[in-house]
């Protein structure tokens, strides 16, 4: 995803893959034409160079690329690139200006540096998962890859750009050690502060931001859909109470938070989501109806923002809206530039000819 963002901003991004079938994600389901749709969305606009990194002769072909490269991104476990002869120390001798970005689960140092893991492990190890897991007898798996994206992608992009700015001043590249777990703690500033100062550590379902109050809650409506209510500040709360006709004795949620929450739940459950949508429409109370993903993709607001104007094509000429990335529109290439994901090694000849490899 970090490479995709840079490609969307106009960088030439070369994806290094094993010869043959390339990286494993190409084989995932569901397929969209030749490739897995997940692979196609993440790799549109990139170029594919198929090289056997365990073959020293093949590695030699990469030297001209390293000499010209501004940035290298890798996500092997610590030590793998060194064993392949591609460590920062080795490559920086070829290109001292190289910004070398390593993205791992636990970082290059520390006792967990070589431990295998996925997003669920990373948010579990850092305490984030414990803050909002739902009922203990049926814990909920988060729907987004929080550590991968908030802990890996975005910090990588930010630090790559900072390193490039530093290089403008010093002429030197650097090695960035991006640990997805490290960056999870930034997402819990409120919880960490509360625990350190009061000694009362936040728990799942008990706090303001984890479902413990009526002011930040998901309420079932009468039709089985849900209201997302976040009237945290007092002025929003007062408007919310007026709109749902909260009884006077429940409006001061500091007196009996559980009673206020139960009262709000009873009231919201009496009307359908369409009814509540009309009640909350253009009211200043931070309340909305939970949309399905399909509904969100058709939401007029997002269409007006042009979020889905960028097009992904496959080799059969089919097209779908491309995934939104974090690059602001003024830095992205024109949405009229229809892009596709590369076949394995599709650019070997052109790249090697261009860079003299």
- pLDDT for 6 equals 96
Could you confirm whether 148 is annotated as catalytic? yes
Answer yes or no: is pLDDT of 229 > 80.
Answer: yes
Mean pLDDT over 17-39 rounds to: 94
Identified catalytic residue from 119, 148, 177, 182: 148
Mean pLDDT over 285-300 rounds to: 97
Could you confirm whether 347 is annotated as catalytic? no
For 128, 191, 308, the CA distances from 188, given in Å and listed in that order, are 7, 5, 31
Which tokens belong to 230? Answer: 């976040």
On whether the pTM is more than 0.75, the answer is yes
Instruction: Give the Cα-Cα-Cα angle 250, 251, 252 (nearest 5 degrees).
Output: 95
- pLDDT for 357 equals 60
Tokens 């490269």 belong to residue: 69
Tokens 């001798």 belong to residue: 93
pLDDT in tens, 121-148: 999 999 999 998 888 888 999 999 999 9
Per-residue pLDDT band at 105 (split at 50, 70, 90): very high
Rounded CA gap, 138 and 142, in Å?
13
- pLDDT for 56 equals 87
Domains of the chain (ranges; CATH) run 2-187+299-355 (3.40.50.10540), 226-289 (no CATH)
Mean pLDDT over 266-292 rounds to: 97
Closest CA to 229 of 267, 259, 193: 267
Mean pLDDT over 175-183 rounds to: 98
Burial class (CB in 10 A: 0-12, 13-18, 19+), 23: middle
Asked if residues 226 and 218 have their Cβ atoms less than 8 Å apart, the reply is: yes
pLDDT in tens, 49-104: 999 999 988 888 889 999 999 999 999 999 999 999 999 999 999 999 999 999 99
DSSP 36: E
Rounded CA gap, 127 and 106, in Å?
14
Helix (H, G, I), strand (E, B) or coil at 100: strand
Share of the chain above pLDDT 90, in %: 86
Instruction: Assess whether the previous peptide bond of 30 is cis (omega < 30° from 0).
Output: yes
Answer yes or no: is pLDDT of 286 > 90.
Answer: yes
Identified catalytic residue from 24, 52, 55, 118: 118
Per-residue pLDDT band at 341 (split at 50, 70, 90): very high
Asked if residues 262 and 213 have their Cβ atoms less than 8 Å apart, the reply is: no
Mean pLDDT over 237-249 rounds to: 98
Rounded to the nearest integer, the mean pLDDT of the chain is: 94
């Amino acid at each position: 995803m970090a490479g995709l963002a840079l490609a969307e901003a106009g960088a030439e991004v070369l994806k290094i893959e094993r010869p043959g079938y390339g990286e494993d994600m190409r084989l995932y389901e569901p397929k969209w034409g030749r490739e897995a749709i997940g692979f196609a969305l993440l790799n549109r606009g990139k170029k594919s160079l198929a090289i056997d990194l365990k073959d020293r002769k093949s590695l030699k072909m990469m030297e001209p690329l390293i000499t010209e490269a501004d940035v290298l991104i890798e996500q092997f476990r610590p030590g793998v690139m060194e064993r392949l002869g591609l460590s920062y120390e080795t490559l920086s001798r070829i290109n001292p200006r190289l910004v070398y970005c390593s993205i791992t689960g636990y970082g290059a140092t520390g006792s967990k540096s070589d431990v295998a893991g996925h997003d669920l492990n990373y948010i579990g190890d850092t305490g984030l998962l414990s803050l909002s897991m739902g009922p203990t007898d049926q814990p909920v798996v988060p729907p987004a890859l929080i550590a991968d994206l908030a802990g890996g992608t975005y910090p990588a992009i930010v630090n790559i750009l900072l390193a490039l700015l530093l290089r403008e001043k010093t002429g030197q590249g650097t090695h960035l050690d991006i640990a997805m777990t490290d960056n999870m703690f930034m997402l819990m500033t409120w919880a960490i502060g509360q625990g350190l100062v009061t000694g009362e550590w936040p728990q799942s379902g008990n706090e303001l931001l984890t479902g413990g109050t009526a002011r930040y809650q998901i309420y079932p409506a009468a039709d089985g859909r849900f209201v997302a209510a976040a009237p945290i500040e007092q002025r929003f709360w007062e408007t919310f109470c007026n709109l749902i006709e909260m009884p006077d004795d429940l409006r001061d949620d500091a007196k009996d938070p559980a009673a206020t929450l139960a009262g709000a739940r009873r009231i919201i459950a009496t009307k359908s989501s369409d009814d509540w949508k009309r009640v909350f429409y253009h009211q200043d109370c931070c309340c909305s109806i939970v949309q399905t993903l399909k509904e969100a993709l058709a939401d007029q607001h997002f269409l007006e923002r042009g979020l889905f104007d960028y097009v992904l094509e496959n080799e059969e000429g089919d097209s779908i809206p491309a995934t939104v990335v974090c690059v602001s529109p003024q830095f992205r290439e024109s949405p009229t530039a229809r892009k596709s994901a590369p076949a394995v090694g599709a650019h070997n000849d052109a790249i090697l000819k261009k860079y003299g490899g």
